[in-house]
Structure formats: C-alpha cells, structure tokens
Structure 1
Amino acid sequence: MKHPFLYKSELIWKVREFLHQKEFIEMATPIIRQNDCDQFFRRLQLKDNRYLRDSAAYGLRYNLGIADKIFEIAPCFRSDTPDNTHLCEFLMLDLYARNHCMADVIKLAQDILQLFYEGPIGYLSFAEFVRDQYGIDFFDDPNAEVEFSTYLQENYGYNHPSFLKRLDQFIIDHVEPMSKDCCLIVVDFPLVAEFRSMRRKETAGVADRFEFQINGIEVFHGYADETDLGLLGERAKKQGQFGPEEQIMIQLLSEGKVPVQSAGFGFGIERLCQVCTQEKDIRIFTTSKEFV
C-alpha cells in the first residue's frame, strides 16, 4: 500500500471529484460552536466555554437554503478514548441533499464506497432481524421500543438508563459481527437510533436510517430528515437529546429558513481509509504521533 497519508489524500481527492461531478457544492461551516450537545453526547470544551463540533451536520444543513446539494470535508472532534478504530480528531464528510429520500442517499453512499472498496455488499433489515429472532415487531407494534428495551436489560444485562445506549451495545454485540469480510448495509432501525430521522410511512416505529458496516466497524451513517417538526421535538425531548442546537434548528425549519425535506449521510475519512485498506489501526492515517 502507498504511504497512509498519500492514500488518504488520494481518497479525499476522488471523493471531491465524484461529488463535483454530481453537482454537489462544497461549503465550510464553523468548527467552534457556542453550545454543547445533549446529556449523552458531550463536546470537547475550550477554555472560553465554547465547544469543538462533533459533526458539521446542522451547520451544513442550514446552507440548504443556498444550494440544493452540499457537502463538507473538515475536522470534527469527539471525546472518545483513541484506539484502533476511534480518534479524538478526525476528518468527517457530511453531505445533505434537498428533496432526496433515503434510497437516494444510500445509492450515493454506495457509489462513493465502491470507488475504493471491492468486497461484497449485503443488506440487513434490523427490524426484520429483531422480529424474526425475538418476536418484537417495530413495523406494527407501537410498544416495540419499550418491549425491546426491557428485553435487552433482562436478557443481556444492558442496564444503561438510555434505550439508545442499550441499542448501541446490542448492535455492537449482535449486528456488527455479521459484517465480517463484507459491507453490510443495515436499514430499518428503531426511531430511537436517530431522533432526527423520518418515521417510515405505514410503520409503527421504523426509521428511515441506515448504516454501512465493514468488518465490525460502522463507516457510513445516514437518514432522511423528519418533516413533522412537532414529532421531531417530542422525540428529542423524550430521548434527552433536545439540546440548544435542536431548538435552533427546529425554529429555523418552522420559519422556512431551512428546507424541511432533505436526506444525507456522514462518514469518517480515516475510518473509510482503514476499512478499505484492511489496516488494523486507524491512527496510521493521522498526523505523526510526536505531535498528538
């Protein structure tokens, strides 16, 4: 393989070229934010009490009022402990498209992936998997979220008070292993997996959300945005994720300053490099260790 930095540079160039050909416009959004996230996902705080962003999503989505198809590749920051698949500072691609549905952005994400990834691609419906394995039906049962949360606590000992955290652990333990030696496109998540995502029509609690998982590593994450602002706010409050930026975005949406109907996704550049080269340690795609 080429030097990891050269591979990463060429990957970024090819992604930009591909998106420009699809008439996406690249825009820069602020890295420093005035607000923290919610109680479960905290941002890194600066000495002046401002914060480093964990995602460009809201800042980028705001610009859908300027252009219909936009993206950004820029640094993001997380409080995760660095390990073989996690970085505190990394490059993230965030992308939004106005009047797109989930199928549109899944196709776009798959096209980007296949610029670099040559392995097999499979599909999994999370809701069908849970229904077939555990008899809990997110398609038709409005109580499925409570039932599955209780099941995870009683049978796996996932005792975190947040169902989202229980669900994350279940995905790590029981879904991500199914992506060994392939890219697994997972769809039909419960709504709690992404409160911003649209509830699929004619279902009780299935979200228009997807993940691409490769060898047990989540690479792409995307969804179609919820268009019912009342439901969006209720869901965020119920999950303890109604932070300052959610309040601002809902206000902008209600005032028509941001288009309501859109879809998008994000992925970490270094993580995509890692899975496409089958490297064991993501840190080889960052700056020299002497500086971090």
Structure 2
Amino acid sequence: MDNEQTNRRIGKLDAIKSQGIPVYPERFSTNYELHEAALLEDGTSSVRVAGRIIGIRSFSKLSFITLSNIQGSLQLLLKKEEIGEVSFNQFHDLLDIGDFIGVEGHMYTTKTHEKTLRIESYVFLGKALRSLPEKWHGISNIELRYRQRYLDLIMTKDTQNRLLARTQMVRSIRRFFEDQNFFEVETPVLQHTSSGAIAKPFKTYHNALDTQLNLRIAPETYLKRLIVGGFTKVFEFAKCFRNEGISPQHLQEFTMVEGYAAYWSYVDTMKLMRDMVLFILEKTFNSTTITLQGQTIDFSSEWDIVSFRDLILIDTGIDIDLYPDVKDLFEETKRKNIDLEHSEIESLGRGNLIDLLYKKMSRPQLVKPTFLIEHPIDLSPLARANDDNPALTDRFQLVVNGAEIINAYSELVDPLEQRRRLEDQALLKSNGDLEAMEMDEDYLKAMEYGMPPISGWGFGIERLLMVLTDSDTIKDCVFFPLIKKL
C-alpha cells in the first residue's frame, strides 16, 4: 500500500466526516444507468446516475468528470456558478479519482459532440483509500491483472467487454434451452466416484461421513440418472474440477453446460448445437460473423463434417485403424518422428494415445467450425457404439479455432456393455493411466432399471467464450482465475 497516498485519502475521509457528510450512505436512487443516460436527448432533466470517478479535468470555474461502471461511462460537467462555490470547492478538496458519487442534472451536448450531464447536485457515495493505476498494460502486469481482477475490470476495456459478454452468453444459453423445453437441474459436486469424463479428479474428505470423496469432473452420470427417473430433456450449468495440467486452453475449475434428451440421436444434437451457437452469437455479439486468427468466419455458412480417422490420416499419414494395439500405434508415431510430449506416454491406453495424437497434429489446424465424428470406442467409454462399425462411436465434437468447444454422443444405454467398458477402463487405471475412468456401481445399477435412447452434450463456458472472442488464454475468460498464492 502506498502509505502517503492512503494517509492523504484517509485525511479527506476524516474531513468529510467532520463536515457532517455521511461517509457510507445507505443508498442512492438512480433512474438511468450511465450508458443509458449517454443516449438521452439534450434537455432531458431530473437525470439521476451514480458511478466511480475515473477521470477529472479541472479548470478554474468548471470541471469535466467521467463516471464509469462495467457497462459504460458518462461525462459530467461541474460548474461553480451552477452548483455553488461551497459544493464546487468541496468536490475538489475532498474527492479523488476512484471515489463514488451520485448526481442529478440535465443532459446537453458539448462543442466536441459528447453527451454530458450538467450537475445540479451531487452526493458523496464512497471513498477509495487506494489510488487506481495510472497505466494498465504490458506483460509485467499480467499476473497482477489476474490477482486483482477488480482493478483489471475498472481499467481494461477488453476485460470489461469479454466478461460482460460472458454474462450475456450465459443468459442466452439458458434462454435457448428453456425455449426448447429443457428443464434446468442441479446435481452433486461431491461424488464417491469420478465418472462422466476421462480426467483426474480433485479429492476431498467428508468429516461427518468419514469418507473420501471426489469433486465432480462432469455431471454426466447424475443427469442420466434423471433420465432413468423420467425426465426427458435436462440441462445443467455445472461447476466441474479436473486436477490436470495448466495450459492456455485448460482450467482446473470451470463451468460446464451439459444436457440430455431422451429418444434423440447425436444427429439430432448436431442440429441443436448449431442452432444454439448461432443463437448465442446473435444475442451476445449481434452477428453470426466473427474474426478468428485474422479470418472472417460466418457461422451461418455450412459446417464441415470429418471423421477422426480421416483427419489424423490427412495430417499425419497414420491410419489408426491399422494399429489396434497401442504399442504398435506408439511405434508408428515414433517412425513418423512425431513427438507427443507426454511424461507418461507408455502408460496410456490406445484411446488416450489417439487423442494425444489428434490434439498435437490435427486440432490446431481446424479454425472454421467443424464437426469431428466417428471417434474410436476406446476414447469414448460412455458413448453408443456405431451399428455398422462397433469399433467407432456415435459421437461428435465441434472444433473451432483449434479448440474443442462441444462434445456430444448418442449415449450408451446397454448396462452390460457399459459394465464391460468400465471394467476395461478400471484395468487401464490400475496399470497407470491416471486419466482412465473409475468403476461406478451405483450408476450401473441405475442403468439396469432401464434407459431409453439418449443423446447428450457438454461444453465449457470459458472455452466457448475464449474461442468466440479469439482470446489468447482461457484465464482471460473467467472472472477470478486460480493462481499460485503469494
């Protein structure tokens, strides 16, 4: 803390108190947001707004003040002859940049064509004891921007726009699914097993039950239990936790939207997801055309559909169907001089090795929206096997700008086949594959009571926002990213 600056501001706070001015007033009644007031016609009177002072330009008998919040800003005019000498001097003697005020006045337009509120009265609403940064840019400030996101939000327009877009995106997603007659539900975060995805869980301990639990890696198996229970269309905004490596595309705590529809196949879900993405773009960005890596992409155009096998064959020259054994496939990648950069690569099962190969060699090349289909079955332990080729699954991923943003299946509803696949996963886990799935007897029991045909999907809010805003790192797309403690 800058003690000199803070002491000076505390002195002003004491002076405010000594003059009988409330330093922490209960409320201030506004009738416009700042960005709304900036659109009012000249002459509009009795305009009441409030906000943080982020700029003051002072002259002898007048000052221009800028108020700001997350949605926008507004210029104010404070004139000595209109406000009175006492109030004019109090403002300059006692208030600083960073403080909060409420004002009432009328609108006019300056000679420089800026909508401005002429202050008729103002009220002190809060003192900032620390000074705002004068500059907020450069690589040296990146970690500080994550640690003090509130300052980043005050000072950085890109951050304001991106995180405001996040809230608008969440609103549009919820509205889309509700309009499609899906029920929003909630499922447990604390779980006995870590099923629903291939990932390493965080572990915790429940003192009252004297048992070890996992933070969920996905809500999948509980949402499917609801289908067993009679729901036909469900979705959830689910906080998920995966104890995996940090990268520009991965968070260990993230928000997933996952949903299921009984009696659907993955082909039905493909259409739903395309409609949803177009709806999100319209509601969040007012356009279906955005710029990614310098390319202007119209999402309303046709989307490519390509198989997992064909994509890897095109990009590596390896036909994964020719290598049913994981060791043979690994040897072939070495013959092709492909370094997959994984510390425990020899312990991976075939599915995770194929996934690693795809992520290294193919995914970064996919910029335009592309449906990736026909994943190998050992990469999809909870997906339905294809009727024509049981080695493949009825699954798709939507890949945009080098990132997977949606994952969807026709779900496996055969409890005997599900047991066999989870047993295979448990064997991989016992042999050192930390990302393999655990056995989940409770979920298998639910399946044995009967499941209809189901299609489901999942996507991360942060990943979707990162892709659609062409952000460099996913940390920019969460309000308070987790970083190392100082």
TM-score normalised by the shorter chain: which range applies? Answer: 0.7 to 0.9
The residue aligned with 2:306 is 124
The reply to whether residue 99 of structure 1 matches residue 99 of structure 2 is no
2:380, 2:403 → 1: CA distance?
A: 18
**Greater Cα offset, 90-99 or 73-82:** 73-82
Q: Please say if residues 77 and 90 of structure 1, whose CA atoms lie closer than 8 Å, have aligned partners that are also in contact.
A: yes
Q: Output one character per residue of 1:153-193: Cα deviation in whole Å (capped at 9) or x when no partner.
A: 3333664331122111111122202313x112100111111
User: Which amino acid is 2:222 matched to?
Assistant: G
The reply to whether residue 52 of structure 1 matches residue 234 of structure 2 is no
The residue aligned with 2:48 is none
Q: Pick from 231, 236, 260: which aligns with 1:72?
A: 236
The residue aligned with 2:352 is 165
The residue aligned with 1:249 is 443
The residue aligned with 2:456 is 264
User: Which amino acid is 1:224 matched to?
Assistant: S
2:386, 2:462 → 1: CA distance?
A: 32
Q: Output one character per residue of 1:218-253: Cα deviation in whole Å (capped at 9) or x when no partner.
A: 1111111123322222122223356243x2222111
| TM-aligned CA distance change 1:36 to 1:73, over 3 Å | closer
Residue correspondence of structure 1 range 76-95 to structure 2 within 5 A? 76-95=240-259
| TM-aligned CA distance change 1:236 to 1:268, over 3 Å | same
Gaps of 5+ in 2: 1-157, 207-211, 282-287, 290-296, 427-435
The residue aligned with 1:62 is 225
| TM-aligned CA distance change 1:201 to 1:288, over 3 Å | closer
User: Which amino acid is 1:99 matched to?
Assistant: Y
Q: Pick from 131, 154, 157: which aligns with 2:332?
A: 154
The residue aligned with 2:103 is none
Higher RCO (CA 8 Å, separation ≥ 6 residues) = 1
Q: Please say if residues 386 and 392 of structure 2, whose CA atoms lie closer than 8 Å, have aligned partners that are also in contact.
A: yes
2:351, 2:414 → 1: CA distance?
A: 21
The residue aligned with 2:177 is 19
1:280, 1:131 → 2: CA distance?
A: 28
User: Which amino acid is 1:250 matched to?
Assistant: L
User: Which amino acid is 2:456 matched to?
Assistant: G
The reply to whether residue 188 of structure 1 matches residue 374 of structure 2 is yes
| TM-aligned CA distance change 1:229 to 1:217, over 3 Å | same
Q: 3-state SS of the aligned residue for 2:471?
A: coil
Q: 3-state SS of the aligned residue for 1:165?
A: helix
| TM-aligned CA distance change 1:56 to 1:145, over 3 Å | farther
1:122, 1:178 → 2: CA distance?
A: 13
Gaps of 5+ in 1: 138-143
User: Which amino acid is 2:216 matched to?
Assistant: R
Q: Please say if residues 127 and 206 of structure 1, whose CA atoms lie closer than 8 Å, have aligned partners that are also in contact.
A: no
CA-atom RMSD, angstroms?
2.6
Q: Please say if residues 136 and 148 of structure 1, whose CA atoms lie closer than 8 Å, have aligned partners that are also in contact.
A: no
Q: Please say if residues 149 and 166 of structure 1, whose CA atoms lie closer than 8 Å, have aligned partners that are also in contact.
A: no
Residue correspondence of structure 1 range 196-275 to structure 2 within 5 A? 196-240=382-426, 241=436, 243-245=438-440, 247-256=441-450, 259-275=451-467
Q: Please say if residues 187 and 219 of structure 2, whose CA atoms lie closer than 8 Å, have aligned partners that are also in contact.
A: yes
- What is the Cα deviation at residue 34 of structure 1? 2.3
| TM-aligned CA distance change 1:281 to 1:155, over 3 Å | closer
**Greater Cα offset, 44-53 or 158-167:** 158-167
- What is the Cα deviation at residue 289 of structure 1? 5.1
Q: 3-state SS of the aligned residue for 2:362?
A: helix
Q: Pick from 165, 171, 175: which aligns with 2:362?
A: 175
The residue aligned with 1:283 is 475
State the TM-score, normalized to the length of structure 2. 0.54
User: Which amino acid is 1:217 matched to?
Assistant: A
State the TM-score, normalized to the length of structure 1. 0.87
Structure possessing the higher radius of gyration over alpha carbons: 2
- What is the Cα deviation at residue 151 of structure 1? 2.6
